[in-house]
Amino acid sequence: MTAPADAAGTVFVIDDDASVRRALERKLRTAGFRVETFESAQDYVARAPQAEIACILTDVRMPGMSGLDLQDSLAQAGRALPMVFITGHGDIPTTVRAMKGGAVDFLPKPSSEREILAAVAEALQRSAAIERERRELGSLRARYEALTAREREVLALVVAGLLNKVIADRLGIHETTIKVHRGRVMEKMGAASLADLVRMSERLGLAPDADPARR
């Protein structure tokens, strides 16, 4: 079955219909997922559940806040999770909006178990990937924070593709010192190559600054 040990995450099920909620809860629980249920989008927002790896399985059309409203609201609050939508009457604009908002899947109601479990598993995998990413970024940021101001200057110029000589000239220090800084940066950041360092700086969101001296 799809019950994946590595996808051991939590599924937040939101549906206003008690029967459907119960059935989905049972299905996912017996398939090996952790499940929490919510009777409305407002309920979810109010309880603000926490889990490292999680996804949301929600009905689109519900009284009060709809599934799509919830998607928007979570995105704005920076609390986005992979979402799987279920709907009894999906129309194209709704589907497009949900998918643009990052929906993992858009399932008709009723859907087969295979489809539901596959979609949830994919959503959790995506959540796990995001989590992994988040952690990596965190450690990268920590490493970056550990650099001295001078090293950060050097890093910026190195990833901008400037030669040591040019950098030395820019910063008004000796080329040998630049080499030392550069080695330190590579080491502290754990970068294996210049290309690696460039990728890291991109992930950190450091705009390549080709001409920092002009500040």
Partner 1 sequence: MTSRLPSTTIDPARAVPAPDSPSIGELLAFERLLAELSAGFVNLSATSVDDAITDALRRIVGLLDVDRANLIGFAPRTGESYLTHSWTVDGFASAAPRSVSGDFPWAMQRLQAGHPIVFSRLDELPAEAAADEATWRRVGVKANLTVPMTVGGRIEGAIALASFRRERHWPGELVSRLRILAEVFGNALAYKRARESLDSAMKFEQLVSEMLAALLTTDRAEDRDRVIEAGLRDMALFLGAERATLWERIGSSPEFRKTQRWLAAGVPVPPDQAGGVAVPWISAQIVAGSVVRFASSADLPPEAAADLPALRELGVRSLVIVPLTVSGAVVRALSFATVHEERDWPEALLPRIALLGKVLASVLARDEAHRRGEEARAQAAHATRVGAMGAFAASLAHELTQPLAASLANAETGVRLLAAPEPDLDELRATLADIVADERRAGDLVQKLRRFLRRGDVERGELDLREVLEDVLQFVGREAEARGVRLRLEIAEALPKVVGDRVQLQQVVLNLLSNAIDAVAAGDRTAREVAVLAGRCGDGVSVEVRDSGAGMDGETLARIFQAFFTTKPKGMGLGLSISRTIVEAHGGTLSAHSAPGEGSTFRIELPLRPPRHTA
- Least separation, in Å, of the C-beta of 26 and partner 1? 6
The count of other CB atoms within 10 Å of the CB of residue 122 is 17
Q: Does 5 bind partner 1 (CB under 8 A)?
A: no
- Least separation, in Å, of the C-beta of 7 and partner 1? 17
- Least separation, in Å, of the C-beta of 153 and partner 1? 55
The count of other CB atoms within 10 Å of the CB of residue 73 is 16
CA dist 176 and 166 (Å) reads 12
Candidate list 49, 77, 88, 135; residue touching partner 1; CB under 8 A: 88
Which of positions 89-118 make contact with partner 1 (CB under 8 A)? 89, 109-113, 116
Query: What tokens were used for 47?
Result: 């309880």
Which of positions 28-67 make contact with partner 1 (CB under 8 A)? 30-31, 61, 63
Instruction: Evaluate whether 9 touches 35 at the Cβ level (below 8 Å).
Output: no
Query: With 0-12 CB in 10 A as exposed, 13-18 as middle and 19+ as buried, what is 168?
Result: buried
Per CB under 8 A, residues contacting partner 1 are 1, 17, 19-20, 22-24, 26-27, 30-31, 61, 63, 86, 88-89, 109-113, 116
